[in-house]
Structures are given as C-alpha cells and as structure tokens.
Amino acid sequence: MKPALTGLLGSALFLSNLPSLHAEDQNAVVVTATRTAQTVDDSLASVTVLTSADIQRSQASSVQELLQGHAGMLFRNSGGLGKSTSLFMRGTNSNHVLVMIDGLKIGSATLGTVSLQDIPVSQIERIEVVRGPRSSLYGSEAIGGVIQIFTKKGSKKSVGNGHIGYGRYNTTEIGGGFSGINDKTQLNLQVSQTKSDGFSALKGNNADEDGYENLSASFAYKQKLSTTANFSINATSTTGTNEYDNRFDPVSDYSGDFEQSTFKISSDFSASDNWQMSIQAGLSKDVFDEYADGISTNSLFETDRTLLSWQNNISLNDKNTITAGLDYSLDEIDGSTNYDVKERTNTALFSQYDWSGDKSNFIVGLRVDDNEAFGTHTTGNVGWGMKLNSKVRLIANYGTGFSAPTFNDLYWPDGLFSYGNPNLKPEESKTAEIALRGSHWQVSLFETKVKNLIVWGSDADFRYTPTNVDKAKIRGLEVTSKRRMGNWQHQIDLSYTDPRDEATGNILRRRAKEMARLSIDNIGGKFNYGVTLNGQGEHFDDAANEERVSGYMLVDLRASYTFAKEWSLRAKIENALDKDYESVKGYNTAGSSAFVSVHYQGL
C-alpha cells in the first residue's frame, strides 16, 4: 500500500498548489450521502454531483454516456442504445449498486439489477453519486455505492420547453413539457420519445438492425401547506421495446417490451423548532416481456415494490444532529415463471449521529434490516474529517454493506438444468477509505473486501444452483478535479482499481484496472463548445482471465449556439475518431455518430 499512499500524497500536493478560481461545485447540496442536506465540501463521503447545467452541457443521450468515466463508474454495454447495460462501481458487481429515482429504490427483484439503459436523460434534473457503502442508510445493494436520480421539478415561473433532434442510425428524439409555480404550488410535466434503428448488436449473429424505442414521462407536484410543511407527488413512467441478438439462437429476431415506473407521495414538516420530520410512501414497477419472431418466449418478469419511510432529523444544537427512522418494503413478483415464493418484506431501523466542529467533524450510523427471506442483518459506518489547513481536509471512512439474494437465487424453480437455493446468505462487504480533499479536487484510496459472493455453479448432477462461495478484494485510487477558470471549465477523473478473486488471484470479469476521463468546455457565451476524452485499460471477459478485451480511448465533441433568447441549436459527435472497440466481447459498438437538436426553453 506504500506506493498508493505516496501517490495519494503526491497527487494532493500537486492539486493543492493549483489556483482555485471557482469552487461552486463544492457548495452544491447533496442529500444522498447522509439522507440530510449538506454541501459536497461538508460531506465525508466521496460524492459526484451532476447538476442540470452539467447534464445539458454534456448532451448525453443515456445515463451510461452521462456517467461513464467519472470516478469509479465503469459501464458495459451489449450492442448500442437501449441494450443491456451493467455498472461496476469501484470494481464491485453490477448488483452492488443501489439506484433510486426521487428517493424510491428501482430495479428487478428477480435479477437484482437496474435497467439503467432505459432511464431517459431528458427527464433528469440532477444526479448524485455516492461512492462507497451506504447500507447503513439504505440497506441492500449499497456495497459499491448509491446513485440517486432526481427528476425535473417546478421552476420559478410558468414556462414551457421542447426539443427535437436527429442523428446517425436514424435516431430521433422529441420531447417537451411545462413547468409552473406560484406562491404555494410547484408543478412540472415532461414527456419525451426516443427511437433508433440501431445496428446489429452481436457480431456474427443475425446481422439485422436491432432497434430501440422509449416513451417516457415524469410529473412533479409540490404544495406548500404552511410555512413549515409541504406535500409532494412525484411520478415517472418509461415504456418501450428493445431489439437484440441471442447468442444461442442466431436465426430468430428477439425483442423485449419493458416498463419502469415510480409513484411517490411525501410530506415534510417541522414537529418543533429543532425537529424536522418526513414521511413518504411509494410504488416502483419493473417489467420485462421477451419475444422471438414476435411470439412470446414465456419470459415475463414483473417486480412490484411498495416502500414506506419515516425519517426524523433532530438538531440538538448547531454542531449535533441526529437522524433516525424506519423503512419498510414489500417486494412482489409475477410473470411466466412459477416461483414457490413470490413476495418478501423488509423492515429496517436506522440511526445516524453527525457532529461538526470548527476544524473536524464526525459521523456514525447504524441500521438493522429484518428480511423475511434471510433474517436480521446489521450494517454500520463511521467517518471522520479534519482540516489540515484552510485548503485541505483529511477524511477517513469505514463502512459495511450487504446485497440480498435475488428471487432467482433463492427460489428459481427446480428444473432439469437449474434450481434456486433458499439457504443463501446475503453478500457482505467491508470498506475502508482515506481521502484528501481541497476546494476543487479530491484524492481517495480505498479497499473493499466482499465475502459470501453468490455464484451459480454445477452440482453433482450437473445442474446449476447458486452458493455463497467466492470472496473478492478490491483496492483502488481515485483522483478528481473540477474547476472553472474564466469561460473554461475542465473536469478530470482518474481511477485505478485492482479487483481480484481472492481464491484465484484473477481480475474480476469485465473490470478494467485503469480509467481516465478528461472534459474541457468553453462556456458562458452564445456559442459554447467542448471535448471529452474517455478511456480505459484492457479487461477480461471471463473469470479465468483467458478472453482478453483491449482497452480504448474515445473522443466526443459537442457544441451549442443560442440563436435567439429562448432557442438553441446543439450538435455532438460521439466517437469522433471512429474508434473500433468492444465494451463486451463479441458485441458491436457505435462508430462515429453525429446528432443535431433544436431546443426551446422558456425564460
């Protein structure tokens, strides 16, 4: 670890000597790290916040494109827009990241993952990414970290917006909405549609175009009931069809109809001068239905999740805050597969103590989850920060996390080739992290150990079943810097991750050790332009480290021109150098692709 520590201190020394002209991003408010509002600079967690301006400037067409290359964020895509996309945050598994929309957990309870490729960027107001375990606040899945997506909310006055665009692969996008406010009411409604003919997803397999269609909407309503109380309703809906190739059937045309939706009602109010209370109830749905040549394959999977939360924030004084509450969830599954168990509940109690002094601060949290499937599980975290001088702070964190077995893991029907294992334990993790943070930069060094990893393998009768057998150790170094100098803004994200199977010493499947992202933009005028360099090292597509996939560097260009008070023209070129590369072995990726769009934003 000594070379890594030397790198941590060396990078910090270099970054701390750079002039800090703008540090507005450190003052951005983040709520995901502690379930309370605090600035990025005050947070002890490693946090990335993408604001509305960041999202608009990026011209990203997918969550993958928006987040790829940011510290710890490695995506794998199987064949283009809308195709299956996995996220390996800080080298952990794709089911080790908790994803929420407006405070509601989303995803499939049968697979244990989220269809990130189907979340429409046009509906997103901001994204908060917290790297490192947060099971002590949110429970299962939060081993590698948490992504919380906030949809668009009401503006300061009644305005409309709209956009239309066209690009390569006959890709079209159209959308619009309305946002309004008065003294007591905020309202926002957005609708968008994306269509693309795509390209053949899998090399050497059914060389047709694999298209994609996505229709989405979001609704937000907030009513001020009094000077200390608010009532809100938030809803999202995404439906569509994705065409793809099947490795084991090179002849048929495969497609899947999907649906992701959320609905939440919430209220926050002051129980007293120092006691803030919030209550929320919500539903989330995840549906996938597969077809081959237009005929159902009897592969319909539906997850319905009911979530209730009661949270209390109590300020003892200016330096001491206690957060405590209760979470409840009910997961119900349905579809064409006959599971023996089709629902399970989880009840959790959580608490957190946050102390802030003049030169140091401290936080400790504890959560107890009582799950109907595997019993009680306790997680915790502790963090400490200390100012070394007026510009640099030393931060240390330690936390535990867990990921619950999925319905497929536990209850897959006993069949000729496979069966579930109801005796599985949750996957568990321990993470330690040390960081140095300045006004516009951070250098982090972390180590994560995961045990009881669930692996599907062959039994004595050559039938596949899951067991808790694997262990993994992941060590990493992250360097981030985001700052503005005049009309120029740059962001640098460097990640080195060493994720290994402890039994074999092999690199974990589909994980690159090195990632680098450099983004430079000229902003502030009518004509803005920018470039992003996004690269990663080689990886292996198999656990035995025999199927090597080469690393690559991509160049993306973008520009926008405000030609009238409320109108702008935007254009981007992805993979501008037409790099031939693979994200997942055997799957095609997009070549150089241009996209042009016109936007209206009422002022």
Distance, in Å, from the CA atom of 54 to the CA atom of 58, rounded to the nearest integer, reads: 6
Average pLDDT over residues 443-469: 94
Average pLDDT over residues 379-385: 98
Please give, one letter per residue, the 3-state secondary structure of 85-99: EEEEECCCCCCCEEE
3-class secondary structure, 583: coil
Average pLDDT over residues 116-137: 96
Residues 177-219 pLDDT 10s: 999 888 899 999 999 999 999 999 999 888 899 999 999 999 9
Percent of the chain beyond pLDDT 70? 96
Distance, in Å, from the CA atom of 480 to the CA atom of 69, rounded to the nearest integer, reads: 11
Other Cβ atoms closer than 10 A to 524: 11
Residues 178-196 as b or e (16 or more Cβ within 10 Å = b): bbbbeeeebbbbbbbbbbb
Residue of 481, 485, 488, 386 whose CA lies nearest to 16: 481
In the chain, DSSP finds a helix count (H) and a strand count (E) of 5, 33
Residues 484-507 pLDDT 10s: 999 999 999 999 999 999 999 999
Percent of the chain beyond pLDDT 90? 88
Among 44-48, 205-209, 310-314, the range scoring the smallest mean pLDDT is 205-209
Distance, in Å, from the CA atom of 517 to the CA atom of 473, rounded to the nearest integer, reads: 25
Pull the structure tokens for residue 212: 């994609």
Band of residue 25 on the pLDDT scale cut at 50, 70, 90: low
Band of residue 535 on the pLDDT scale cut at 50, 70, 90: very high
* pTM of the predicted model as reported, rounded to 2 decimal places: 0.94
Give the contacts of 15 (CB within 8 A, at least 6 positions apart). 438, 440, 441, 443, 479, 481
| pLDDT, position 26 | 56
| pLDDT, position 418 | 95
Which domains are delineated in the chain? Answer: 2-601 (2.40.170.20)
| pLDDT, position 206 | 85
Other Cβ atoms closer than 10 A to 129: 25
3-class secondary structure, 18: coil
Torsion of CA 64, 69, 75, 81, to 10 degrees: 30
Give the contacts of 148 (CB within 8 A, at least 6 positions apart). 31, 32, 99, 100, 101, 103, 127, 128, 130
